[in-house]
A and B are shown apart, each in its own frame.
Chain A
Amino acid sequence: MVDLQERQAAAATAAASPAIHCVELSKHYGRTVALAGLTMTMPRGEVFGFLGPNGAGKTTAVKLLLGLVDPTGGEGWVLGKRVGDVPVRRRVGYLPELFRYQPWLTGAEVMRVHCELARLRRSTWSDEVDRALRLVGLAGRGRDRVRTYSKGMQQRLGLGVALLGSPELVFLDEPTSALDPVGRHDVRQIIHHLRERGTSVFLNSHLLTEVEMVCDRVAMIDQGRVIATGTLDELLSGSACRFRVTGLDPRQRASLSSFGDLNDDGEWIVILGLPGERVPEVVQEIVGMGGRLYAVEPRQQTLEDRFLQLLGEGGS
C-alpha cells in the first residue's frame, strides 16, 4: 500500500515536473567548448523554440538532453528523469538534423522498426504507422523504399518516426530544413496539432520567422550559454522603427545609435527599442545631417530584431 502511494506520489511529481530543466549543463571536446553551461526550464505542453547562430551549441544541447552524449558538467532532467535515463526515452520522440534512414527499407518498415525499438505494443504498430504516415502526408507511399523518397519526403518520414507512440516530448532539430514552402506549412500545422494535444515540442531552428509563428516560449543561446529566455510577449515587448535613408556617410549613420540599438543594412536603418514619440527626433536628426529620407516604418520588434540585438550586446 505504501509502495503504491509512493509510486503515485512519484508519478504525480514527475507529471508536475517541467518537460526539461537543466542547470549549467556543459559539454567540452578536449579544449573545445561545445556548450559552456546551459541553464533553462521548458514547461510541459508548450512549443519551445531553441535559437542560436551556427556553432552556438544547439545540436549538442539536444544530444545531451537525449542522453546521446555524456555531459562534461552540470545537471539536467527530461520529463522528471535525469539526463541519460534510458526508459524515459519511451516517452520522447526525436527528429535529428541531417539524417538518413535505411534506404533498403520501405517507409512503413522504418516506422515499424521504431515502434519495436520504442517498445510499443505490437498490436498497435499498424495503427501507429498508418496514423503517422497520414499525419506527415506520406499516406500511400509507406510501401515505397526510402531510397525512392525525395529529401523532403525523407524529412517527413523522420517527423513521422518522431511522432510514433504519441510521445510526451518531441525534439525537432531543424525540421523544415529540407522542405519546400508547402512542407513548411504542413510542419507548422503538425506542431500546432501537437500543442493542442498537450505534447511538449522542443524546436531547434535557425529559421526565426518559423519559430515566431509556432513557439510559445523561446531560449536564445550564443557561445554555449542562454542569453535570453521567455515567452514571445516577454521577449518582443520593445518597439522598433526603420528608416530608408540615403546621403549619410557611415559615421553619420552610426551616430544614430544614440537613439537605440542600430541595425544598418546599407539601405534601411532599423533602430531597436525606439519609443514612438522619439521618431520625429530621429527624422529631424537625419534631415539635419543632410540625409534624404524616403520612408519611416514604425513596427513591433521581430524575433530577428531581438536576436540580432542580443547578439550585438553579447559581442560588444
Chain B
Amino acid sequence: MPELAPVLTIAKLTMWEASRRKLLIAVLVLTLVVVGATGWAFYQLRYSNGPGGGAQIGEVALRVLAAQVLIFVAFLFTAVLALMSVLVAAPSISGDVESNLALGLLARPVRRSEYVLGKWLGLAALIVLYAAGSAILELIVVDWATGYVPPRPIELIAYVAGVGLVLLTLALLLSTRLAGMAAGFIPLACYFVAWVGGILGGAGEAIGSQELIVTGLVSKLLLPTDGLWRAAVYAMEPASVVATYRAAGSAIAAVPFAATDGPPPAFLVWVTLWFAAVIGLTLWSFRRREI
C-alpha cells in the first residue's frame, strides 16, 4: 500500500520543479495581461462612452452581455489551462525515466505507486491553484467592471479545473510509456475531438439523430472534458439566459457556449470513476515499465 510521506515529497518536488520553470512564470504573466485586457473590455461594456459616460444599456441586458462575454473568456482560460496541463504532465514521468532521474528517486524507499501518485498530486495541485487563482481574479475584475457575478462561481471553478485535471491525468498515463511530445499531442488532439464530439451530440439532439447522440455520448464518456465544459457554461449563465435557451428548444444543444441544464449526477459519478480508472491504469502501466 502506498504511504503518504513519499507521495507528499514527490508532490512537493513536482510543484517545486514547475515553479522554477519559465513556463509557469510565462503563463502567470500572460494570465495577468489577459485579466487586465478583459477587465478593460468589461469596463467598456458598462461605460461604452468611456469612463464616467454612463450606462448605454439596461442592467438586465448588461448582465446577459457580461455573461456571454465571460463564457468566451472562460473558454479561452480553459484552453490555456488544457494546454498547460498537458505541457506539464506529458514530459513528467517520461523525462525522469529518460534522464535516469527516476532511477535515483526509486532506489530510495519509494514505491512506484507512490512516485506516480506524488506526480499526479503535485501537478493536480498546480492546475487547481492556477484555475482557482485565475478564475477568482477574473471574476473579481468582472464584478468590479460590470457588477455581474455568475450564479455558481464555485462550481464554475471546479468544472474548469476538472477539464485541466482530466487532460493532466491522461497525459500522465501516456507519459508512463511515451516520450513527451507524443504524450502531449495525443491528449490535446483528444480534447479537440471531444469538443467536436460534444457539438455533434448536440446536433444529434437538435435533429433527432440517434447515431449522432450516441457519438456525442461516447465521446463524453471517453474524455469528459466537453461535458465538464458544458457544466462550467451552465454555472456562468444567469437564470434569464437559461430560461431563454430552454424556450428555444433542443436546437441550442449544438451550441458549445450554451447549456440548458447542469451536469446530471450520473455524469459526475462517471467523471469520478474515470479519474479512478485512469489513475489506476497509470499505476499499472508504470509498475510494468522497465526503467
* Chain A residues at the B interface, C-beta cutoff of 8 Å: 29, 63, 66, 68-69, 86-87, 89-90, 92, 94, 96-102, 104-105, 113-114, 116-119, 158, 161, 171
Which of A87, A102, A171: most chain B CB closer than 10 A? A102
Inter-chain contact B99/A113, CB cutoff 8 Å: no
Chain A residues contacting B20 (CB-CB under 8 Å) are 104-105
Which of B100, B109, B110, B290: most chain A CB closer than 10 A? B109
Known: A29-B290, A68-B106, A119-B109. 5 other contacts (CB 8 A): A68-B103, A89-B107, A96-B103, A102-B101, A116-B9
Q: What is the bound-complex CA distance between A102 and B17, given in angstroms?
A: 8
Q: Given A68-B291, A104-B20, A117-B6, A98–B100 Cβ distance below 8 Å?
A: yes
Q: Given A99-B103, A119-B5, A113–B109 Cβ distance below 8 Å?
A: no
Inter-chain contact B99/A100, CB cutoff 8 Å: yes
Inter-chain contact B107/A161, CB cutoff 8 Å: no
Q: What are the 10 closest A-B residue pairs judged by CB atoms, nearest first?
A: A104-B20, A117-B108, A94-B107, A99-B100, A100-B99, A96-B103, A89-B109, A66-B107, A116-B9, A90-B109
Q: What is the bound-complex CA distance between A104 and B16, given in angstroms?
A: 9
Q: What is the bound-complex CA distance between A105 and B111, given in angstroms?
A: 23
Inter-chain contact A68/B107, CB cutoff 8 Å: yes
Q: Closest Cβ of chain A: how far from B98's Cβ, in Å?
A: 9
Chain A residues contacting B21 (CB-CB under 8 Å) are 104
Q: What is the bound-complex CA distance between A98 and B97, given in angstroms?
A: 12
Chain B residues contacting A92 (CB-CB under 8 Å) are 107
Asked if B37 CB lies within 8 Å of chain A CBs, one says no
Inter-chain contact A104/B17, CB cutoff 8 Å: yes
Chain B 48-59 against A: per-residue CB contact (8 Å), 1 yes, 0 no? Answer: 000000000000
Which of A114, A117, A119: most chain B CB closer than 10 A? A117
Q: Given A29-B290, A119-B5, A101–B101 Cβ distance below 8 Å?
A: yes
Inter-chain contact A99/B291, CB cutoff 8 Å: no
Q: What is the bound-complex CA distance between A158 and B100, given in angstroms?
A: 12
Asked if B129 CB lies within 8 Å of chain A CBs, one says no
Q: What is the bound-complex CA distance between A113 and B17, given in angstroms?
A: 12
Asked if B264 CB lies within 8 Å of chain A CBs, one says no
Q: What is the bound-complex CA distance between A290 and B47, given in angstroms?
A: 110
A–B complex contacts, Cβ < 8 Å, 16 sampled: A68-B106, A68-B291, A89-B107, A89-B109, A92-B107, A94-B103, A94-B104, A96-B107, A99-B104, A100-B100, A117-B9, A117-B110, A119-B5, A119-B109, A161-B104, A171-B107
Chain A residues contacting B6 (CB-CB under 8 Å) are 117
Chain B residues contacting A89 (CB-CB under 8 Å) are 107-110
Q: What is the bound-complex CA distance between A168 and B273, given in angstroms?
A: 44
Q: What is the bound-complex CA distance between A293 and B104, given in angstroms?
A: 54
Asked if B105 CB lies within 8 Å of chain A CBs, one says yes
Contact of A99 among B13, B16, B99, B109 (CB under 8 A): B99
Q: Given A68-B291, A113-B13, A117-B9, A87–B109 Cβ distance below 8 Å?
A: yes
